[in-house]
Structure 1
Amino acid sequence: MQRRGVLQFGAAWGLVQAAPAVRAAEPPLRVGLTAVILADQAAFLARWSGYLAQQVGRPVTFVARESYQAILDLLFSDQLDAAWICGYPYVRHQAQLQLLAVPMFQGAPRYQSYLIRTLGSPLRGWQDLRGQVLAFSDPLSNSGWLVAQRQLRLAGLGIGDLRRSFFAHGHRNVVEAVSTGLAQAGCVDGYVWETMRHQGMPAVAKTEVIWRSAEFGFPPIVARAGNADAGLKPLALALQHMPQDAQGRALLKSLNLSGFTSATPALFDSIRELASSVNGGARS
């Protein structure tokens, strides 16, 4: 399969409101993310970066890569200032990261992992995957890998019991693989599946959900611990402020998000516990 490269504020928000016009001479804030699920990805990111730049007062650029590891490599080598990653790499590297903002989906900073099947398939759950082809998202994905490892074990299955498995490198790619029959089932971020359905993408209509996980902390936006760039706090505040103006609300609608909020590491405790049970402990 071809791989494709998708905070408390109050008085402090006045700092962002009072930000001067974008100072193009200043170095941009570089924000990394994996492939956005939107059909108009490039156009959307241009609108979002322009909005954030106006709030922060300096250019904001998005850098997209196809995997979480590629984004982490850029972040830890100081080639990014912030990154939108998954909760699993966050708990693995928590000591090296600081939380900036967490998206809110349907009013809460949480989401679920889904197991999906091809529409009309007889598969009913994890126990039926023996001898089937299963698509994972990314080896550092909570919903698209870590959750699946736990559920396969609970079903008495291992990777060797599948006919084949593969990483699609993106939740949208998992949905498309299942929709075309390249895989009989897939492990996918429930937010991504619901957003694809919300946007009327054809692939999602050819799949259906057969299992939903408990809720986990939503994939956060982070920076390196100790990064003192003065633009990070205004960036976090600008994200939090998005529901407060028409342009921000329109961008959130495109993302199918309610907003962004602040969070503490405790939000990701369930992912940390899951990683510990699957891997024998998450490194920090």
Structure 2
Amino acid sequence: MMFKTTLAALALGATALTSTAALAQDWRSELPVLRVGLLGGENDADRLRDNACLEEDLEALLGIPVDLFPAPDYAGVMQGLLADQLDYAQLGASAYAGIYLQDPEAVEPLFVSAESDGSTGYFAVMYTRADSGIASLEDMAGRSLAFADPNSTSGYLVPQAELTRQGIDIGSYFSETGFGGGHEQAVVAVLNGQYDAGVTWVSGVGDPAEGYTRGNLRSMIDNGLLNMADLRIIWQSSQIPNGPIVVRQGIPEEARTIIVDYLDSLLQDDPACYYAVTAGEGQGFVAVDHSFFEPVVEMRRMQTESR
């Protein structure tokens, strides 16, 4: 396969560069293992399987072990990055904002995924069971709503903010709100009748009947956990900036360069791996910096101050 040939060449190149710097301190002594945090939201087996190609490829390129750490929720990955216990993660925009507000120097955003139409944003949607009789947001008055995770952009921050701007008092409009424990778990809770509706993330591109081109619903369909005929989407947010792949600020520059080069060509070199790690179709990774997330940072700052 062309990708494996390219990967081998890159690995040889990285080894050669390391050899020429043999008299200097090897950066691998500073980074003996790359610790990758995986956000909560789906079961551990699926997360580990989807990221197995990332683990294998980066081990070959970096020449060090790569360990995957599936956290039970978003906060676990955020705290791991803040405590220098993780080196790499793919975050939602709100999780990134939460880290930045605690320590602006903790992580560096590298890339976001481009959707299949080239856009760099996605949407929050509210869904119900297709047989619930709920066909609109107005029908949700007096019904229960499951958010996904308190650190999720589409699963809490944006729906909470946009519904409030629409004049909905979340505490009184819904009979009950709670957190499902992640995007996948919230969908399951709605399907099982524990909540009347939930919120999750979708690309907003492609056929809704197929779970769109990318997102939690698409992943659940791919994993055999969902039939979209069982759900009805009743509300959609404005567009949200896609979440970043970040690295710890103190990571050695040599390792950062290898990671950036790998991600930059991943779609071209190994489309199946790109699909797995990004939860669906897209046009590759787009380089970003902190400025891309400033609106979400401000939204999260305002939410924190209003508590």
| Alignment TM class, shorter chain as reference | 0.7 to 0.9
Name the counterpart of 1:235.
259
2:192 matched to 1:180? yes
Name the counterpart of 2:13.
18
The whole-number CA distance in structure 2 between the counterparts of 1:125 and 1:66 is 32
Q: Which amino acid aligns with 2:79?
A: D
1:1-284 correspondence to structure 2 within 5 Å: 18-20=13-15, 27-35=32-40, 37=42, 40-94=46-100, 95-96=104-105, 97-106=107-116, 107-153=118-164, 154-190=166-202, 191-197=215-221, 200-202=224-226, 204-228=228-252, 230-245=254-269, 248-254=270-276, 255-258=279-282, 259-275=284-300, 278-280=303-305
Moved more, 75-84 or 134-143: 75-84
Deviations for 1:93-125, whole angstroms, at most 9, x for unmatched residues?
Answer: 332321122223324332111111111333233
Residue aligned with 1:18, SS? helix
Which has the higher Rg, Structure 1 or Structure 2? 2
Change (3 A) 1:16 1:36: farther
Query: Displacement, 1:42?
Result: 3.1
- Aligned residue-pair number: 266
Change (3 A) 1:34 1:92: closer
The whole-number CA distance in structure 2 between the counterparts of 1:261 and 1:171 is 24
Query: Unpaired runs of 5+ in structure 2?
Result: 1-8, 17-25, 203-214
Name the counterpart of 1:7.
none
The whole-number CA distance in structure 2 between the counterparts of 1:260 and 1:127 is 38
The whole-number CA distance in structure 1 between the counterparts of 2:216 and 2:256 is 26
1:134–1:184 contact (8 Å) kept in structure 2: yes
Taking structure 2 as the reference length, the TM-score comes to: 0.75
Change (3 A) 1:15 1:43: closer
Residue aligned with 1:193, SS? helix
Query: Unpaired runs of 5+ in structure 1?
Result: 1-13
Taking structure 1 as the reference length, the TM-score comes to: 0.81
